[in-house]
């Protein structure tokens, strides 16, 4: 099976599983899944977040997802338990479709590593 086909198959399976678990079956979009990863990485699962914190959660998720690709490196946890990352390498200029594929690939890899999907 071609790499793109395998990614699409895994992505669709992941969206279905996450949507069933966290969105009452309504399909989560890419941003929704990134937000969930941010909450998971922060570890403060049972609390409400303010709008600016939600953006910070998405930033945490993006850093964590792109860390294996060499773009970010974990730096430290602040006194509220929020992880901070430093930029190791600037992201290349990608078209919107290329950004989407990179993020989907990183998200699928994240959930494969955690054995949430196989």
Q: Where do the domains of the chain lie?
A: 3-113
Give the pLDDT of residue 1.
60
Residue 26: burial class (beta carbons within 10 Å; 0-12, 13-18, 19+):
exposed
User: Binning pLDDT at 50, 70 and 90, where does residue 3 land?
Assistant: confident
Displacement of CA 7 from its chain's centroid (Å): 15
Q: What is the average pLDDT score of the chain?
A: 93
Q: How much of the chain, in percent, has pLDDT values that exceed 70? A: 99
């Amino acid at each position: 099976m071609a790499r793109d086909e395998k990614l699409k198959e895994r992505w669709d399976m992941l969206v279905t599983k996450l949507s069933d678990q966290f969105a009452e079956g309504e399909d989560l979009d890419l941003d929704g899944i990134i937000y969930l990863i941010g909450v998971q990485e922060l570890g403060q699962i049972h609390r409400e977040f303010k709008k600016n914190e939600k953006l910070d959660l998405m930033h945490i998720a993006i850093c964590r997802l792109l860390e294996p690709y060499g773009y970010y490196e974990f730096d430290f946890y602040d006194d509220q338990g929020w992880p901070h990352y430093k930029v190791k390498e600037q992201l290349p200029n990608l078209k919107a479709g290329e950004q989407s594929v990179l993020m989907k690939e990183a998200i699928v890899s994240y959930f494969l590593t955690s054995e949430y999907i196989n």
